[in-house]
Amino acid sequence: MASYSHHEIDPKWQSIWAANQTFATPTDRSKEKYYVLDMFPYPSGSGLHVGHPKGYVATDVVARAKRMMGFNVLRVMGWDSFGLPAERQAVKENLHPRKITERNVTTFRTQLQKLGLSYDWSREVATSDVCFYKWTQWIFLQLYKKGLAYQAELPVNWCPALGTVLANEEVHEGKYKETGDPVERRLMKQWMFRITDYADRLLEGLADVDWPNRTLKKQVEWIGKSKGADVQFGIVGSDECIEVFTTRPDTLFGGTYVVLAPEHPLVASLTTESVKPAVEEYLRQAGQKSERDRISEAVDAVKTGVFTGSFAINPVNGEEIPIWVADYVLASYGTGAVFACPAHDERDHAFAIQFELPIIEVVQGGDVAKSAYTGNGKHVNSEFLDGLDNRLAIEKVIEWLEAKGRGTGRIRYKLRDWLFSRQRYWGEPFPIVFNDQGQPIALAAGDLPVELPELDAYKPTDDGEPPLARATDWVNTTVPGTGEHAVRETNTMPQWAGSCWYYLRYISPHLETAAWDRDEEKYWMPVDLYVGGEEHAVLHLLYARFWHQVLFDLGLVSTPEPFKRLYHQGMIHKTSYADDNRRYYHVDQIETRDGKLVVKETGVPITAKLEKMSKSKLNVVNPDQLCAQYGADALRLYELFMGPLEDGNDWGDDTAGVSGTRRFLDRVWRMAVNGDGSGPSDKASDIESVDNKELERALHLAIKRVTEAVTSLRFNTAIADMMVFANEATKAKVVPTKWIEAFIQILSPFAPHLCDEIWQLYGHQTGLAYHPWPSYDESKMVLDTITLAIQIKGKTRGTIEVSADISEAEAIAAAKAEPKIAKYLEGKTIRREIYVPKRLVNLVAV
Ligand code: ANZ
């Protein structure tokens, strides 16, 4: 049989695995554990495209290989199933969000199951199930009791059209990004978490995890710890003072003006009559920008601002300097006021140029007339700081300010407390009631769950109350214990809540008496490998760490950090075709005419662009169709063969890539299985070994590389090594059955259906899922040695004996290390290094 029938094999093995509960989580605790976790998806209405499962396939290879290596593996899938899209769809279809969610989950589950992913489906969870969110509410209570949850009246981004608050990330230039509906700042009573209490812990914990550097950096920046000082500036003609936060108190002598955020409480009283209209107009304009817009604009050269007419007194030298208002100063950071030192701060410099304010150099090292000098150097024009290095000057000036009572050393964070309530229906209700005095009362664990009441309209009420306010029977209740009248909290929790702890519920998904079993938690935690998109580098991963650290402090979990190792899979892109009006076309509607892309029917010119896959861009490739056409194994392999896991990849032609990995699997089949598909091929022989160095080496190298890939996650090159073995084995007349079997074992995590089938044809009664992983022998990998010529500027000066599979870097290093060559290189610099594989190294030294 030239090819194998995935139509038979895929469903056959999927049902055998299901019937035998092959991937049920082991219950014996004698073996070492491995917890491999995927970021669980939001089950959206459009189902999976081929970009989604890349990470899941990668973790599946790891999970399958780890089982074969003797680990107890925990591998579960679930659904992040609360959230706004289901609620919007519910309004559209007039169907309950639960129904919509169930429908989407069914689609997702079916699609994932077709890929043969080795999840323990008996442990599946959904954050919107009451038996799950009961425990989300319970965890909220633990944080509340610890004093970490509080209510505050806060300015929020309120969108009247949607009737909800929006996150800062969702707002751009005063409008909701998705729909363009206007957003206003409104004061509302919100639930907040004191995540800022954990700022230092969240920083320190990063030292103990194996995460990508970029992600660590993003978390550090988000937390934004700054050391500096709060400094008081007097105001000319007033008893009040302006407090500023600065990280560079050493530059106070170069302070030439003070800037207040537009929202600063002193703006009104400091504004003099003559400039009042200008200041008011400025405040109006600034009010329309979101904080995020203001941060991103802060780096632009063009500054906006307005003079208040008042002057401040510089505490180090008594100079009177003008007080401005500008929106590059944020009300929510520091004290909402800064002193500006244009000579040594870029934003201040741009502002000073714009408004012709003085620039005074106080640290030497640059030309401050041209640009701000932010480097280190010695102080000048700074009286008692002159001659000091700026880092020492910071300490000295803080001492001076503290002695004079004009300032204090201070540490500040960018991190803000976490706004934890939403005016939405499809989320977890809070386990909180308010008595008639409006005081919040936490329910007891025994009162949980607070079930989401049934509603038939999911928009907020007309007066802006959350949708749950409509459920009056539910809202009106009593204080447990006293029977006093009370009303329930009608906000719900944000979608982040469930994803903060789902990985703990996977450990005991059916436990009714607790969120998780403590002994089981001790066994399984921390998560050994967590794979998901880099878009979660900050919020999800910071929020989950915060909850986890609190749970750790409460003695409820055994590890301070939840996710030991983190890895981001890259995003798969696909060419999209759009005309100048950003109308998208399907690839079938496009053709090339005179070397240019046009729409077939109309001749309209088209621009092709690599983009994220999305329905609206008509560039989605459907995995179901590929599974049907080429089989799950070919698709799984292609997902990992395309390129390094962390890179973004171009999917390429719709099917070309998958047909390539399918051809490889067909070759494996022909090599291993006889013509009628009933047993081993004629090649397979009972002999122990065969004198075929290339083949033996290819086998051991492939085992080594696949074994390493299970840790390094460098799958694409490991697959290439398996392809080399398959080619060599195809060429060979005789291959020891043992070698074919070892190869099938290492291929099985990638192509589990095909490999279990071949394994069975080779007469084995039990499948490969727990078959011991094969070992490799380094000595079988060395090929014979070869001789490389070493040239200096093209003249041969010597030779070296090296292993035939030497890499370029190794060859060059070996050439340089050769004693005979050293004398030619003395006192010279190597300008170029040229390597001709298997022949020579040429060092161009001058
Ligand atoms: C004077 C100064 C002189 C500053 C200088 C810097 C360099 P990070 O590291 O981000 O904490 N700043 C303080 N509060 C601000 C606010 N609410 N909005 C905008 N900017 C604010 O930066 C702290 C620095 O950012 C502070 O130090 C302050 O400018 C500014 F040569 O003070 B600096």
Written as one string, the DSSP assignment of 537-605 is: TTHHHHHHHHHHHHHHHTTSSS-S-SBSBEEEPPPEEEEEEE-TT--EE-GGGEEEETTEEEETTT--B
Burial of 765 (0-12, 13-18, 19+ CB in 10 A): exposed
Length of the chain in residues, anyone? 846
Tokens representing 699 are 């086998």
CATH class of the domain whose range is 32-129+500-567 = alpha beta
- pLDDT, tens digit, for every residue of 692-732? 989 999 999 999 999 999 999 999 999 999 999 999 999 99
Using CB distances shorter than 6 Å, the residues near ligand 1 are 226, 245-248, 251, 261, 329-330, 333-334, 336, 338-339, 341, 344-345
228 CA from centroid of ligand 1 (Å): 9
Measuring from atom 19 of ligand 1, which residue has the nearest CA?
A: 329
CA of 173 to the centre of ligand 1 (A): 24
Protein residue whose Cα sits closest to atom 32 of ligand 1: 246
Q: Whose CA is nearest to atom 28 of ligand 1?
A: 246
| Ligand 1 atom closest to residue 340's alpha carbon, by position in its atom list | 1
In the predicted model, is pLDDT for residue 488 greater than 60?
Answer: yes
What's the gap in Å between 329 CA and the centre of ligand 1? 9
Inform me whether the pLDDT recorded for 1 exceeds 70. Answer: no
351 within 8 A of 303, measured Cβ to Cβ: yes
Q: Do 331 and 262 contact (CB within 8 A), yes or no?
A: yes
Q: Could you tell which of 222, 223, 245 is best to mutate to test the pocket of ligand 1, judged by most ligand atoms within 8 Å of the CB?
A: 245
Q: Whose CA is nearest to atom 7 of ligand 1?
A: 345
Which of 266, 303, 333, 335 should be mutated for ligand 1, with most atoms under 8 A from CB? 333
pLDDT tens-digit profile of 598-621?
999 999 999 999 998 888 899 888
Cα angle 49, 54, 58; round to 5: 155
Mean pLDDT of 68-90: 94
Torsion, Cα 117 120 125 131, to 10 degrees, reads 170
How would residue 233 be classed by pLDDT, with cut points 50, 70 and 90?
Answer: very high
**Residue 328 CA: which ligand 1 atom is closest?**
19
pLDDT tens string 786-835: 889 999 998 999 999 888 878 898 899 889 888 888 888 888 888 899 99
Token pair 């007194």: residue:
313
For residue 340, the CA-to-ligand 1 centroid distance in Å is 8
What atom in ligand 1 is closest to the CA of residue 412? 11
- 338 alpha carbon – ligand 1 mean position (Å): 6
Spacing, Cα 273 to ligand 1 middle (Å): 29
Q: Find residue 576's DSSP bridge partners.
A: 609
Which residue minimizes the CA distance to atom 9 of ligand 1?
226
User: Which string of DSSP letters, residue by residue, matches 355-369?
Assistant: HT------B-SS-TT
Res 782 pLDDT > 90: no
Distance CA 219, CA 229 (A): 23
User: What Å distances lie between residue 87 and 132, 266, 428, CA to CA?
Assistant: 19, 43, 13
Q: Could you tell me the fold of the domain covering 785-845? A: Ubiquitin-like (UB roll) (3.10.20)
Could you tell me the distance, in angstroms and rounded to a whole number, from the CA of residue 347 to the centre of ligand 1?
A: 9
Give the nearest ligand 1 atom to 372 CA: 31
Check pLDDT > 60 for residue 32: yes
Q: Where are the beta strands (DSSP E) in 287-396?
A: 306-313, 320-325, 337-340
Look at residue 460 in the predicted model and tell me its pLDDT: 73
Q: How far apart are CA 840 and CA 830, in angstroms?
A: 16
Neighbours of 90 (CB within 10 A): 23
CA 246 – ligand 1 centroid, Å: 5
- From ligand 1's centre to the CA of 202, what distance in Å? 23
Kindly report whether the global pTM for this prediction surpasses the value 0.85: yes
CA of 410 to the centre of ligand 1 (A): 13
Of the two residues 299 and 2, the one the predictor is more confident about is 2
Euclidean distance between CA atoms 530 and 211, whole angstroms: 10
Residue 302: the pLDDT is 55
Which residue's structure tokens are 């995890």? 209
Pairing of strands 529-532, 566-568: parallel
Contact of 165 with 424, CB cutoff 8 Å: no
The predicted pLDDT at position 300 comes to 57
pLDDT band at 466 (very low <50, low <70, confident <90, very high): confident
Q: Kindly tell me the burial class for residue 224, based on how many C-beta atoms sit within 10 Å of its own C-beta (0-12, 13-18, 19 or more).
A: middle
Residues of the chain above pLDDT 70, percent: 98
Q: Give tens-digit pLDDT for 155-174.
A: 778 888 877 777 666 777 78
pLDDT beyond 50 at 641: yes
Q: Give the residue with greater pLDDT, 683 vs 653.
A: 683
Q: Would you state the pLDDT for residue 301?
A: 43
Q: Which of 307, 168, 334 is nearest to 248 (CA)?
A: 334
3-state class (DSSP) for residue 411 = strand
**Considering only CA atoms, which residue is closest to atom 14 of ligand 1?**
334
Fold of 225-413: Isoleucyl-tRNA Synthetase; domain 2 (3.90.740)
**What pLDDT score was predicted for residue 817?**
86
Closest-CA residue, ligand 1 atom 2, reads: 248
What digits encode the pLDDT tens for the residues 494-546?
999 999 999 999 999 999 999 999 999 999 999 999 999 999 999 999 999 99
If one residue of 223, 225, 226, 246 were mutated to test the ligand 1 pocket, choosing by the most ligand atoms within 8 A of its CB, it would be: 246
Tokens of 560: 């301070």
Distance 238 CA to ligand 1 centre (A): 25
Report the nearest-CA residue for atom 10 of ligand 1.
226
CATH architecture of structural domain 657-781: Orthogonal Bundle (1.10)
The CA distance from 229 to 720, in Å, is 57
Domain range annotation of the chain:
32-129+500-567, 149-193, 225-413, 573-619, 657-781, 785-845
Q: What's the rounded mean pLDDT across residues 245-259?
A: 98
Which among 250, 266, 335, 345 is the best mutation to test ligand 1's pocket, defined by most ligand atoms within 8 Å of the CB? Answer: 345
Shortest-distance Cα residue to atom 18 of ligand 1: 329
Query: Mean pLDDT of all residues in the chain?
Result: 93
For residue 563, give the amino acid letter: F
Dihedral sign of CA atoms 374, 377, 379, 380 in order = negative
Structure confidence at residue 826 (pLDDT): 85
> What is the residue with the minimal CA distance to atom 29 of ligand 1?
246
Cα 654 from Cα 620, distance rounded (Å): 9
User: CB of 478 within 8 A of CB of 484?
Assistant: yes
Tens digits of residue pLDDT in 260-273: 999 999 999 999 99
- Write out pLDDT tens, residues 547-602: 999 999 999 999 999 999 999 999 999 999 999 999 999 989 999 999 999 999 99
Write the burial class of residue 54 (CB in 10 Å: 0-12 exposed, 13-18 middle, 19+ buried): buried
| CA 181 to ligand 1 center in whole angstroms | 33
Q: How far is the CA of 289 from the centre of ligand 1 (A)?
A: 20
